Amino acid sequence: MIYKRDIRVLQLSSSIGLFGAERVVLELVQALQATQGVQPMLGVFCNRQNPHTELVEHSKKFRIQYEILACRRKLDLQTITALKEFVRENQIAIIHTHGYKTDFYAFCAAMLSNVRLVATCHPWIEIGPRMKFYSYLDRLWLRRFDKLVAVSDDVKAKLLKSHFQSGKIELIHNGIDLKRFQTKQNTTAFRRRLKISADAIVIGSVGRLAEEKGHAILLSTLAKLAPKFPELRLLFVGDGERREELQNQTRRLGLEAKVSFLGIQRNIPELLSLMDVFVLPSLTEGFPLALLEAMAAKKPVVASAVGDIPKIIQHGKNGILVEPADANGLANAIARLVENKPRAMALGENAYSCVKEKYTLYRMLQKYLQVYDEVLSRVQLNRAPEKTQSVVPSGETDFVH
């Protein structure tokens, strides 16, 4: 793809691991890296209280230019200064933020400069007074941004309800690179490595181990299914603040031999290849990347009907929807797929077709480039005259549909 300007875009992340939002950042940076006329850079906050370097490790692997920004406390003036200096020295045209903390520091760093601000807005997690206060503050400084990208209709509706101008909001659904999921995996060797027998039926869930993801409901569901399907195994891929609590629940239910907590994993396509059924039991959601990845891997999906999930999953056609926090409904849906393999395979094929048609990385990239062009067209940058090309694809095979 060719972009009509020569610009440098800083993607800014305060990572708490390698979850859906972080994987979207990586996918976008890699796609921008392959776009002529755009030089992407990645800024990663290294939080002293909870350091995570997964994004940096991936940046090294894909030769993405990155900068680690030390953050010693909740409000670190040195971090603001360091970010300002990086933006000035590298002639950054756009800071593109992903999350509460990055929104705030980008807002501070952009004061008295002509750098443009774009924020990708994920669902605000407003559990408890502290998180509600953070959401309130985030809405305040987002008002100074040039463009807000909502990842779901629900997020867009909340932005509008918070009195943001509709012209400032762009809806861009997450997209994925299908090529990652088209390589045939050696599931036999992988099962052996994880000590999963050849006749085991594997259900799995990928995501942060947090209250709103509903993993406790999934454990209760497994307890209901285990007597009828003794060969069932459950894989949790991801980590988070609820891990110890979920492990304790597993022990209380007597499910230790059936449940594996794999932590944060980089080999998501390989892990998905092991699963007979993918389950997303979330209590709240936006537009989950993990769901798209499972669909791209042609897995039959059972998911809660929350957020934008019902707009992705057509019940009975490319997946099964259940009510949130309904362990009985979840158990019945999983049982139907386990007992009817042809039906499960058909749902998986339809799921793949849906992602290929609507939710590719290429489509997401096109829309973000249009957002960048819009915010840059509002100011006169002190750079060489613009090229005359328009944003055109060099071939959609660059990012598989």
Half-sphere exposure of 28 (CA within 13 A, CB side): 29
**Domain 2-175+360-394 classified CATH 3.30.470.20?**
no
Q: Which amino acid is present at 347?
A: L
The amino acid that residue 382 corresponds to is: N
Confidence of residue 127 (pLDDT cuts 50, 70, 90): low
**Predicted local confidence at residue 396, as pLDDT:** 41
User: Residue 48's pLDDT is what?
Assistant: 67
Count other C-beta atoms under 10 Å from residue 46's C-beta.
17
**88 SS3 class:** helix
Q: Categorize the per-residue pLDDT at 392 as very low, low, confident or very high, splitting at 50, 70 and 90.
A: very low
> Is the CB of residue 330 less than 8 Å from the CB of residue 221?
yes
Burial of 7 (0-12, 13-18, 19+ CB in 10 A): buried
Amino acid at 363: R
Are 6 and 387 in contact by the 8 Å Cβ rule? The answer is yes
> Residue 148 — φ and ψ, nearest 5°?
-115, 130
| Alpha helix segments (H runs only) across 143-213 | 153-161, 187-193
Give φ, ψ of 257 to 5 degrees. Answer: -75, -10
Higher pLDDT, 130 or 210: 210
| Banded pLDDT at 322 (limits 50, 70, 90) | very high
- Please give the single-letter amino acid code of residue 256: E
The per-residue pLDDT for range 276-319, each reduced to its tens digit, is 999 999 998 888 999 999 999 999 999 999 989 999 999 999 99
Round to whole Å and give the CA distance between 128 and 130: 6
When pLDDT is cut at 50, 70 and 90, the band that residue 189 belongs to is confident
pLDDT(384) > 60: no
Per mean pLDDT, which range of 146-150, 194-198, 272-276, 330-334 is the poorest?
A: 194-198
Question: Tens digit of pLDDT for each residue in 79-122?
Answer: 999 999 999 999 999 999 998 889 999 999 998 788 999 999 98
DSSP3 helix / strand / coil % (the chain, rounded to 5): 45, 20, 35
pLDDT over threshold 50, residue 364: yes
pLDDT confidence of 52, banded at 50, 70, 90?
low
Strand 94-98 to strand 66-71: parallel, antiparallel, or no bridges (unpaired)?
A: unpaired
Phi, psi of 307 (to 5 degrees): 55, -135
Residue 174 DSSP class? -
The pLDDT assigned to 393 comes to 40
Would you kindly state where each structural domain of the chain is located, as residue ranges?
2-175+360-394, 179-358
Q: What mean pLDDT is reported for the chain? A: 88
pLDDT of residue 184: 76
pTM of the model: 0.82
Q: In terms of pLDDT, which residue wins out, 371 or 22? A: 371
Q: What pLDDT does residue 395 have? A: 41
CATH number of 179-358: 3.40.50.2000
Condensed to tens digits (0 to 9), the pLDDT of residues 212-261 reads 999 999 999 999 999 999 999 999 999 989 999 999 999 999 999 999 99
Asked whether this chain's domains 2-175+360-394 and 179-358 adopt the same fold, the reply is: yes
Q: How confident is the model at residue 382 (pLDDT cuts 50, 70, 90)?
A: very low
Which whole-number Å values give the CA distances from 148 to 20, 97, 374, 382, in the listed order?
19, 10, 12, 24
Q: Which of 16, 27, 13, 14 is nearest to 208 (CA)?
A: 16
Q: What DSSP string describes 249-300?
A: HHHHTT-TTTEEEEES-S-HHHHHHH-SEEEE--SS-SS-HHHHHHHHTT--
- What is the tens place of the pLDDT at every residue in 336-362? 999 999 999 999 999 999 999 999 999
Give the percent of the chain with pLDDT over 90.
63
Residue 173: predicted pLDDT: 93
Residue 126: band (very low, low, confident or very high) from pLDDT cuts 50, 70, 90: low
